[in-house]
Amino acid sequence: MNHSLKTELLMPAGSLAKLKVAVLYGADAVYLGTPDMSLRTKSEFSLEEVLEGVRFAHAKGVRVYLTLNLFAHNKDVARLDTFIDTVRQVNPDGLIIADPGVFQYVRQRAPEIPLHVSTQANVCSSLSVKFWESQGAKLVVLAREVSFAELTEIRRDCPDVRLEAFVHGTMCMTYSGRCLLSNFLSERGANQGNCANSCRWEYKVHLRMKDGTREELIINDSNREMFEFLLEEGVRPGEFMPIEEDVRGSYILNSKDLCLLPRLDEYLRQGVDSFKVEGRGKSLYYVAVVARAYRMAMDAWARDPENWDPRPYMDELDRVPSRGYTLAFHDGQLTNLSHGYEHTGQVSDAVFAGYISRCESDAVFVDVRNRLDSGDVLEFVTPGSLDVIRLRLYEFELEGRSEHQETVHPGQGRLLKIRYAQFEQEDQSTLRGRLPELTVIRKEKPLTETEAARVRLDEEARRLELASGCSNVSRDLSRYQLYQLGLQDARQREDEHAEPKFVRSGHSGCCARGCNGCLIFWNDPAYAKGRELMKHKKMGEKLSSAERK
């Protein structure tokens, strides 16, 4: 097989709009499914939308893979013939299957459909890849538990079958998604596409008294130092693992999100055929920004592999809410750096403001997805480039209303009208081409003290992973432990106040929305030097840390 062909970027498509956004922002292929026979019962696709999506993607030269990756019960088998007839109408470029019985059934009844083996099949060795290849698989998705060293061996041993690896997205704390927690705790079958995400839940400690009564154990300042809870595993007597809980509960099962972009060059050199991004249930914003970052990173490596630098693309991924990033199994066994024991929320300093729903001759119309306030700087995330177009708005024009608004809320049923003439600092001759329909827009999100401390902790964990490798993390974790203490302190301060404090940049009174356009900045003599620097910057662009000194 010729592995000199370009590695494809495979993006999730949880709806027709997300499919189109993935294509716009650089996907080579998308994967999707209808709710009944894939592992996403919340899929927003109808059959008609699947057909439209496939036609749209194929017209743009983008491949489409359908999912049939549930583990079938007899009740599901009865529906397979109807599903196969439907798939033949769709004409996909591949069908993703996990169950070996379903694989054989489809291969016999529809031999013309290319079959791919799902990550749910837990393929971790060359033997398994060769088995599926002998059964007729055209592509095998490797389990997330496969290390890079193992992947290298599999590529060497199996040169004639396409290999796919997950590079980004939510990680499951169980073995490639074979979860029993969801079934047990909420009677929702994880392997039937209805996972309740029980590993993300908050768990509390309770006491059961001798008389059978149960009480919640409240840990506060009066008893915090009196005792601690330890876990002892049966075959490790004498090894006591602390179980910690704060007022928000305990997150002992919570994994960080997978992100292999810092090591993407290694996978490109190895000839992996497809890079898969998780997230069919994620937002349009997630699909757009993640696709753009990986597309730009892959193209930059193709142009100049020797001088490739992942940092600009990681900066973009940091603008997407996440649980913190980890290399996961890249270097082998997981470490504590791969799990988020301290905080389960998704954090970033940007939020999804909306997307361009319609373009007309004089304006774009925006579907607003988060509250917008007077003075907000909107960042238009342009496809095909890491550049953004910034625009500060002090009032908002809503479609169908004559009076302007100072605040816009999502769900009002009216689109925000932004005229091209308002982009005063942009080249009007190229502006329309840079802002096509479905362009996503973000705005800055002020971080609370706790969120800012969590970001610092995640950055330090990432530094340790990249510096030492997961299999040999440095014993010098003093700085990491200091960041953990900083997170705990920030939480405690917020717990003591009804309203959380926010971390703002700049001097006292700074709105943290960007200096260009701020009346105080442009009129106060104290900022004369800054004004000279800002003359060469666009609206909403901030001074760098070096320039602020």
Are 339 and 255 in contact by the 8 Å Cβ rule? The answer is: yes
Q: Is the pLDDT of residue 471 over 60?
A: no
Q: Is the pLDDT of residue 435 over 60?
A: yes
514 and 469 in a single domain? The answer is yes
Quote the DSSP letter at residue 151: H
Q: Which helix (H) or strand (E) holds 326?
A: strand 325-326
Q: Is the pLDDT of residue 39 over 50?
A: no
Beta bridge partners of 241: 231
Give residue 204's pLDDT. 58
3-state secondary structure of 452: helix
Give residue 3's pLDDT. 47
Quote the DSSP letter at residue 340: -
- CATH number for the domain harbouring residue 47: 3.20.20.70
**Chain segment 370-418, per-residue pLDDT in tens:** 999 998 999 999 999 999 999 999 999 999 898 999 999 999 889 999 9
150 and 273 in a single domain? The answer is yes
Neighbours of 49 (CB within 10 A): 17
135 and 208 in a single domain? The answer is no
Domain finish residue from 243, 272, 292: 243
Pairing of strands 229-232, 240-243: antiparallel
The alpha carbon of residue 348 and the mean position of all alpha carbons in its chain are separated, in whole angstroms, by 11
Q: Which residue has the higher pLDDT, 486 or 428?
A: 428
The alpha carbon of residue 335 and the mean position of all alpha carbons in its chain are separated, in whole angstroms, by 21
- What separation, in Å, do the N-terminal and C-terminal C-alpha atoms of the chain show? 56
Give the residue from 43, 72, 31 showing the smallest Cα distance to 192: 72
Give residue 547's pLDDT. 73
Are 487 and 450 in contact by the 8 Å Cβ rule? The answer is: yes
Are 169 and 325 in contact by the 8 Å Cβ rule? The answer is: no
Cα–Cα distance measured from residue 389 to residue 398, given in angstroms and rounded to the nearest whole number? 21
Give residue 217's pLDDT. 60
Residue with tokens 């502006």: 431
Rounded to an integer, the average pLDDT of 279-305 is: 96
Query: Is 307 contained in some domain?
Result: no
Q: Is the pLDDT of residue 144 over 50?
A: yes
Q: Is the pLDDT of residue 460 over 80?
A: yes
Neighbours of 57 (CB within 10 A): 23
27 and 157 in a single domain? The answer is yes
Give the residue from 295, 353, 289, 334 showing the smallest Cα distance to 315: 289
Are 516 and 525 in contact by the 8 Å Cβ rule? The answer is: no
Query: Is 43 contained in some domain?
Result: yes
Both tokens assigned to 96:
């993703």
**Chain segment 315-355, per-residue pLDDT in tens:** 999 999 998 999 988 998 777 777 776 666 789 999 999 99
Rounded to an integer, the average pLDDT of 437-445 is: 96
Quote the DSSP letter at residue 374: T
**Chain segment 181-217, per-residue pLDDT in tens:** 555 455 555 555 566 665 656 655 555 666 666 666 6
Give the residue from 291, 206, 270, 391 showing the smallest Cα distance to 13: 291
Give the residue from 199, 188, 313 showing the smallest Cα distance to 256: 199
Q: Is the pLDDT of residue 517 over 80?
A: no
Give residue 183's pLDDT. 54
Q: Which residue has the higher pLDDT, 387 or 539?
A: 387
195 and 275 in a single domain? The answer is no
Most confident of 126-135, 202-211, 521-530, 534-543: 126-135
462 and 363 in a single domain? The answer is no
Query: What is the pLDDT confidence band of residue 546, given thresholds at 50, 70 and 90?
Result: confident
Q: At what angle do helices 80-90 and 100-109 cross, to 10 degrees?
A: 60
Query: Is 19 contained in some domain?
Result: yes
435 and 453 in a single domain? The answer is no
Pairing of strands 377-381, 440-444: antiparallel
Least confident span in 139-143, 245-249, 465-469? 245-249
492 and 465 in a single domain? The answer is yes
Rounded to an integer, the average pLDDT of 437-462 is: 91
Q: What is the pTM of this model?
A: 0.83
Query: Is 516 contained in some domain?
Result: yes
Give residue 385's pLDDT. 93
- CATH number for the domain harbouring residue 437: 2.40.30.10
- Count up the domains in the chain and report the number: 4
The alpha carbon of residue 41 and the mean position of all alpha carbons in its chain are separated, in whole angstroms, by 19
Query: Is 340 contained in some domain?
Result: no
Are 416 and 405 in contact by the 8 Å Cβ rule? The answer is: no
Q: What are phi and psi of 116, to 5 degrees?
A: -115, 145
Beta bridge partners of 32: 66
159 and 35 in a single domain? The answer is yes
273 and 381 in a single domain? The answer is no
Q: Which residue has the higher pLDDT, 229 or 109?
A: 109
57 and 133 in a single domain? The answer is yes
Average pLDDT, the chain: 83
Query: Is 327 contained in some domain?
Result: no
Both tokens assigned to 44:
């927003």
Q: Is the pLDDT of residue 507 over 60?
A: no
Both tokens assigned to 515:
């200096």
Cα–Cα distance measured from residue 393 to residue 43, given in angstroms and rounded to the nearest whole number? 35
Give residue 40's pLDDT. 46
Query: Is 93 contained in some domain?
Result: yes
Give residue 470's pLDDT. 45
Give residue 126's pLDDT. 98
Give the residue from 70, 64, 78 showing the smallest Cα distance to 31: 64
Q: Which residue has the higher pLDDT, 22 or 176?
A: 22
Quote the DSSP letter at residue 544: P
Cα–Cα distance measured from residue 451 to residue 13, given in angstroms and rounded to the nearest whole number? 29
Q: Which residue has the higher pLDDT, 215 or 436?
A: 436
- Parent domain of 475: 448-534
Give the residue from 280, 266, 210 showing the smallest Cα distance to 35: 280
Q: Is the pLDDT of residue 475 over 50?
A: no
Rounded to an integer, the average pLDDT of 468-496 is: 65
Query: 278 CB contacts (<8 Å, ≥6 apart)?
Result: 12, 166, 168, 169, 170, 258
Rounded to an integer, the average pLDDT of 519-541 is: 75
Give residue 250's pLDDT. 47
Query: Is 173 contained in some domain?
Result: no
Domain finish residue from 394, 428, 444: 444
Most confident of 1-5, 50-54, 158-162: 158-162
**Chain segment 69-118, per-residue pLDDT in tens:** 888 889 888 889 988 988 888 899 999 999 999 999 999 999 999 999 99
Give residue 247's pLDDT. 47
Q: What are phi and psi of 132, to 5 degrees?
A: -65, -35
127 and 224 in a single domain? The answer is no
Domain finish residue from 404, 420, 444: 444
